[in-house]
Amino acid sequence: MSGLRELFGGAITATLPTTLLDASDFRQVPDTQEVYLSPTSGVSIIVEVLQSVSARDLREAAAQHFDALAHDNDAKSQVVNETLDMPNDANGTTPNPVVLYGTQTVQKFNSSSADEVRILLALYRVPEKNVDLVMTMNVPMTSEDGGAVSEDDWGTARDAFNVAARSLRIIDYGLFA
C-alpha cells in the first residue's frame, strides 16, 4: 500500500509505500536529503537536492549521478541496464524525469564479500535553479547482512519506484533558493 508523503516540509510530494520509515525519526539526515527505509530489508529511497551536473543531455546527467553514487559507495563494479524518459502525472508543473536502472557491486565495512545492489534513479532537472533533484532506490539483491530481497520483491520495489517517480511533484520551487 502506498500513500502521499510530504518531503522537505511539503515543498515536494511523492507517493511512497506506507511501510517505509522516515530515517530522520531515528538518525540525522542532511537538509538536502529525505531518506526512507524498509523495516524488513535493506531497501531505501533517497530524494536529494543536488547542484546540476555539467551534462546537458539528461540521460548523460543521470549517468553522471549514477557514477557519483558508485564512487560514493566505493562500488567494485557498476553497469547501467536501461535509461528511459518517464512522463509524470504533474501536468507540466514538475519536469518529467529521466529514469536509470543499474546495478552496483558494493562491499560494506567489515564485510568479506560484496553485495549486489540494484539502483533505480530518477533525475528531475530544474535548470532555472541549477538543481538536479535525484530520487534513488537501493535494492540489495545479495547482502551479507541479511537485507537482500527476492526477485519477486525486486519487482514490487521497481513498481513502487515507478509510482514514486511518476507521482513526484515539486510544490514550492522556493526550496531551491
pLDDT digits (tens, 9 = 90+) for 96-115: 999 999 999 998 777 778 89
CB 119 within 8 A of CB 138: yes
Number of residues written out for the chain: 177
d(CA 12, CA 108): 31
Whether 163 has a pLDDT exceeding 80, the answer reads: yes
pTM, rounded to two decimals: 0.95
Helix, strand or coil, per DSSP, at residue 24: helix
Instruction: Count up the domains in the chain and report the number.
Output: 1
How confident is the model over 47-62, as pLDDT tens digits?
999 999 999 999 999 9
Helix, strand or coil, per DSSP, at residue 149: coil
CB 116 within 8 A of CB 141: yes
How confident is the model over 112-153, as pLDDT tens digits?
788 999 999 999 999 999 999 999 999 999 988 778 999 999
How confident is the model over 34-93, as pLDDT tens digits?
999 999 999 999 999 999 999 999 999 999 999 999 999 999 999 999 999 999 876 778
Containing domain of residue 118, as a range? 2-176
Q: Round the average pLDDT of the chain to a whole number and report it.
A: 94
d(CA 18, CA 118): 21
Q: What is the CATH number of the domain that holds 141?
A: 3.40.1000.10
How confident is the model over 19-28, as pLDDT tens digits?
999 999 999 9
